[in-house]
Amino acid sequence: MRLLIINIKELLQIRDITIIKVSGKKMKELPTIKNAFLLLENDIIIDYGNMNDCPDVTKENTIDATGRLVLPTWCDSHTHIVYAGNREQEFVDRINGLSYEEIANRGGGILNSAEKLQNTTEDELYKQSLERVQNVVKLGTGAIEIKSGYGLTVESELKMLRVIKRLKENTAIKIKATFLGAHAIPKAFKGNTNGYIDLIINDMLPIIAKENLAEYIDVFCEKGYFSLENTERIMAVGKKHGLIPKIHVNQFNTFGGVELAVRYGALSVDHLEELSESDVVALKESDTIPVALPSCSYFLSIPYTPARKLIDAGLPLALATDYNPGSTPSGNMNFVISTACIKMKMTPEETINAATINGAYAMGISENYGSITKGKKANIIITKEVPSYNYLPYAFGENHIDKVIINGKLVV
Ligand code: NIG
Ligand code: FE
């Protein structure tokens, strides 16, 4: 089936296939065509250009996009969208003065979500997660990375990864799976971190590799969670099983996690609310992309990732939601780009690059997603009538999306 979108006010993020990410000053460039058409065939982008060169509209299925912008769907490279229940009581506890750390120390936080998930059936977990995925697709997300990490037992980590596998099979968007067994030390292993890492290495990883349940491996490298030594041990064995590292690092403290992740060839280092000069140096000599999660900073009232420091050093930057029940109960990429403009002093062009092509790079899919390129997947956002693309992050909190197309089909 073919679908022709005509009279597009401005078609955004037009790229040659050879671009897999954009870095430094280039992030300020967003190639566009005004008064454009876009032609999709089945699930692929096959042509685009100025309306003067538009194919014969009488022969095609058409959508008239007068006054509207068209752009590739968001690529959300960091989520924990598979979880059971919510943690709104902890939200209220924080308002009343407890810190995120204090809540975690008294057995709340990740351990609270783990207990809920352990007591939830795979079918129920799938149902709750599917609903969240469907909701973020309506907000323009066309590719998403999903982590395990709320299971923390062999059985429940596998349950999460099997739910991710079912989501891959039953939804049209692109999904990448990450094994985050090392998200927290479960109650049963309190004071015995190495014992839990043994369980990850000996009992979880071999099954995950054998059943092909994950592409990436993650560790929450942070004081009170997993040390540099712990992180290195897990990444090393994960890599032996063919899993590429994508690491939670520098959320609260910087102590060498970035350099370590880079040394292990991590695809991305995520969070970086704290950042040292040596982190920047390590990233400059690598293909590892930093990923910022501004909704998490917003929700927890912690510092924002210093985007200017990273971009002005010539580095690429991706933006993602971190959708999870504890630090970011929102999967809205539109809010992410707004917040990145408002709080991180990124330009609208930089945020759109960070949320499309660079997000795709951060989940290893930028050859097929993240830009308007002939041959790439037909995952498209059509906005409502708006004055310009600057208006998208500017008028925050409002839904500017009119239609979402996934694999060439309109999402209804
Ligand atoms: O990325 N930082 C670690 N993990 C999640 C939050 C986990 C939770 O509070 O449930 C994050 O922010
Ligand atoms: Fe996270």
Looking at residue 18, what is its pLDDT?
80
Looking at residue 230, what is its pLDDT?
98
pLDDT, tens digit, for every residue of 46-69? 999 999 999 998 888 999 999 999
Looking at residue 119, what is its pLDDT?
98
Task: List phi, psi (to 5°) of 308.
Answer: -60, -40
Looking at residue 107, what is its pLDDT?
84
Would you say the CB of residue 76 lies under 6 angstroms from ligand 1? no
Integer Cα distance of 35 and 18 in angstroms: 25
Beta strand 318-319 pairing with 216-221: unpaired
Q: What is the dihedral of CA 273, 279, 285, 288, to 10 degrees?
A: -30
Low-confidence ranges of the chain (pLDDT < 70): none
Place of tokens 């780009």: 337
Looking at residue 106, what is its pLDDT?
85
pLDDT, tens digit, for every residue of 70-101? 999 999 999 999 999 999 999 999 999 999 88
**Token output for 292:** 């910022």
Q: Residue 90: helix, strand or coil by DSSP?
A: helix
Largest CA distance in the chain: 70
Looking at residue 105, what is its pLDDT?
87
Q: Which of 82, 226, 251, 327 is the best mutation target for the ligand 1 pocket, counting ligand atoms within 8 Å of the beta carbon and taking the most? A: 327
**Token output for 207:** 């099954």
- Other C-beta atoms closer than 10 Å to the C-beta of 388 total 11
Q: Whose CA is nearest to atom 5 of ligand 1?
A: 327
Would you say the CB of residue 362 lies under 6 angstroms from ligand 1? no
pLDDT, tens digit, for every residue of 180-193? 999 999 999 999 99
- Other C-beta atoms closer than 10 Å to the C-beta of 398 total 12
Q: Using alpha carbons only, what angle is made at residue 124 by residues 101 and 150, rounded to the nearest 5 degrees? A: 25
| Domains, the chain, with CATH or none | 2-72+370-410 (2.30.40.10), 75-361 (3.20.20.140)
Quick one: which atom of ligand 1 is closest to the CA of 220?
Answer: 3
Looking at residue 57, what is its pLDDT?
83
